[in-house]
Amino acid sequence: MLALPSEISSSYAYMSPIFPQSSATHLIQMRKSYYPLTLPPFIPPFPVYYIRMIIKKSDGAEQEFQAEKLTRALTRAKVPETATKEIVFEIEKLLRPGTTTHNIYERALHLLEARDPLGAARFTLKHAMMELGPTGFPFEQYFARLMEAYGWKTQVGATVSGKCVKHEVDVYAERGEEKREVEAKYHNQSSGRTDVKVALYVHARHLDLSGKDPSVRGVLVTNTEFTSEAIAYGECVEMKMKAWNYPRDRGLAYYIESKCLYPITVFSSLPKDSARALVQDGRVLASELISLTDDAAAHYKISEKVFETLKEQASALCEHRLE
């Protein structure tokens, strides 16, 4: 059997005079190039067609599937290399034109839960953040807890006086001489974006608050992404902004993982009704399951067996932290 060079990614199909095209009828967007295959002397080199698999993002936009992105996400979740390769291989076999990123995520998570439950919990972090809703208040509570882990004293839903008027602030925080007024924009879908109108509002509020207290700085944070206009405006007025991966490699995800502040919704074994009740009572962190009593677990309708598993997973979840 003829072997292809290892440089050809398994996310591509190939065709030639001796490989029937029918095997790749579900693939699209071909580009032709010659590849130096190792062939028997009597067979000349033949053209190889690289075929890009186009998938759909949550906002309907199309993009090329890149196995490297999935590999990075699994590696970031501390999934062992062998399991990562197996999962990526399984995903690539299932791809068809129009496959959505959500389909890929769901399938990868299912495969991961069978191999590495803790890796699955870390892998689902971004999705778990969107499960804190449906309102934005739990995200405000969560972000306050995140700031507290970095040494800030916080108030959620504080009323603060500016030079002209009073303002209700999602999170008001102090650390030494530093003060922050935070607008926390929550989205329960990955396609949600925080736009420039929000950035304009936050900066206007900051001008009024800093007019009375110059030590106050405005902060805009979201659990998804900013639009390009919001970023351009924020950078122009030097506003502090945090999105999932903005600034690059120092976004919200980085600060969550660095302090191991995973939301309680990362555990698929936690019943949704129980998770919702815990969040409503202000228990937003996975680590809070460790100190939860048996009576409290029963109150939240978590079975004894599931509760023991959850406590073990919550304890083990923080064994690996970002350096």
Give the pLDDT score at 53: 83
pLDDT digits (tens, 9 = 90+) for 36-48: 334 444 444 545 4
Q: What is the mean pLDDT of residues 239-249?
A: 94
d(CA 302, CA 298) in angstroms, rounded, equals 6
CB of 199 closer than 8 Å to CB of 166: no
pLDDT digits (tens, 9 = 90+) for 128-154: 999 998 899 999 999 999 999 999 999
Measure the N-to-C terminal CA separation of the chain; round to a whole number of Å: 46
Q: What is the mean pLDDT of residues 291-300?
A: 95
Give the pLDDT score at 59: 75
pLDDT digits (tens, 9 = 90+) for 165-200: 999 999 999 999 999 999 999 999 888 999 999 999
In the chain, % of residues over pLDDT 70: 83
Q: Which two tokens stand for residue 230?
A: 């919001």
pLDDT at 122 over 70: yes
- Please name which of 172, 196, 174 lies closest in space to residue 182, comparing C-alpha atoms: 172
CB of 264 closer than 8 Å to CB of 307: no
User: Which residues, including other chains, have CB under 8 Å from residue 71's CB and lie 6 or more apart?
Assistant: 84, 88
Burial class of residue 312, CB neighbours in 10 A (0-12, 13-18, 19+):
middle
**Maximum Cα–Cα distance across the chain:** 86
Q: Which two tokens stand for residue 61?
A: 């936009």
pLDDT at 30 over 60: no
Q: Which two tokens stand for residue 245?
A: 């991966």
Give the pLDDT score at 205: 97
Query: Which stretches of the chain are DSSP H helices?
Result: 67-76, 81-94, 101-115, 117-123, 125-130, 137-149, 196-212, 228-236, 252-258, 272-280, 294-299, 304-316
Q: What is the mean pLDDT of residues 301-320?
A: 90
Q: Exposure string (b/e) for 246-274, b if CB count within 10 Å is 16 or more?
A: beeeebbbbbbbebbbbbbbbbeebeeeb
pLDDT at 84 over 60: yes
Q: What is the pTM of this model?
A: 0.79
> Which residue segments constitute the domains of the chain, with CATH numbers given?
1-52 (no CATH), 53-123 (no CATH), 130-258 (3.40.1350.10), 263-319 (1.10.150)
User: Which residues, including other chains, have CB under 8 Å from residue 321's CB and lie 6 or more apart?
Assistant: 257, 258, 259, 260
Q: What is the mean pLDDT of residues 15-36?
A: 36
